[in-house]
Amino acid sequence: MSGNFLRSTLPLLACLLLFTQCDVIRYLTTEPDGTTATTRNGGKTSSGSSPRTRTTTTTRPTTTTPSNTGKSTKVSDREARLRQDIVVYAKEQLGTKYKYAGRSPRTGFDCSGFTHYVMDNFDVDLSPSSRAQENQGKKIKISEAKSGDLIFFRRSKNGAVFHVAMVVSNDRDGLKVIHSTSRGVVIDNISVSKYWSPKISTARDVL
């Protein structure tokens, strides 16, 4: 009798097992819009439509190639500030009297004594002689002379250097210098000076 009972219940157990397996296939998915849909039988939703496909986008971090631009800019900025400071300090000596071979505000300045004094304040080793100063640093074009550069003068093309001045500015308004003359320490626009303009000889960058 027990054998007959088992044989009669086997089909029922098989159907029950199949139903359970099918029910296990059913699961919940969350849609991108926040709603929940039940999927089963190959991924179809309860409404018969296919589930939405999620796309994941991977963004690679942006890398920057190192360059020397920042370093060169810092150097240029530092030099520009130095040149500005030199001119500001030189202007503090405006009105100081002229003194042959003078090298200080107390005694007065001659032309090369003035440039020597100003540069010495910024630890630039510059000779007190204008002829020696012309051989220091590097030669540059007059048109490229910047604040703090030196301008040298000759009475003739082959004559000796007899005067030196420091550039204040060099732009469309002309080449302006600060120097010690018979009038003392003054600023002149030598581009338009009938006396100084013909005597402009060379320019040097001593920084």
Indicate whether 84 pLDDT > 50: yes
Mean pLDDT for 112-128 is 96
Q: For residues 138 and 136, give the distance between their C-alpha atoms in angstroms, rounded to a whole number.
A: 6
pTM equals 0.64
Q: For residues 182 and 97, give the distance between their C-alpha atoms in angstroms, rounded to a whole number.
A: 8
Mean pLDDT check: name the lowest of 35-39, 66-70, 95-99, 202-206.
35-39
State residue 184's pLDDT score: 98
Complete domains list, the chain, with CATH:
79-205 (3.90.1720.10)
Q: Do residues 98 and 182 touch, judged by C-beta distance below 8 A?
A: yes
* Residue with tokens 């003392």, as numbered in its chain: 184
**Which of 106, 152, 205 has its CA nearest to residue 117?**
106
Confidence of residue 77 (pLDDT cuts 50, 70, 90): confident
Nearest 10 degrees: CA dihedral of 18, 21, 25, 28? Answer: 110
Show the tokens assigned to 55: 């796309």
Mean pLDDT check: name the lowest of 2-16, 21-35, 76-90.
21-35
Confidence of residue 70 (pLDDT cuts 50, 70, 90): low
Q: For residues 199 and 207, give the distance between their C-alpha atoms in angstroms, rounded to a whole number.
A: 24
Residues 136-188 have pLDDT tens digits of 999 999 999 999 999 999 999 899 999 999 999 999 999 999 999 999 999 99
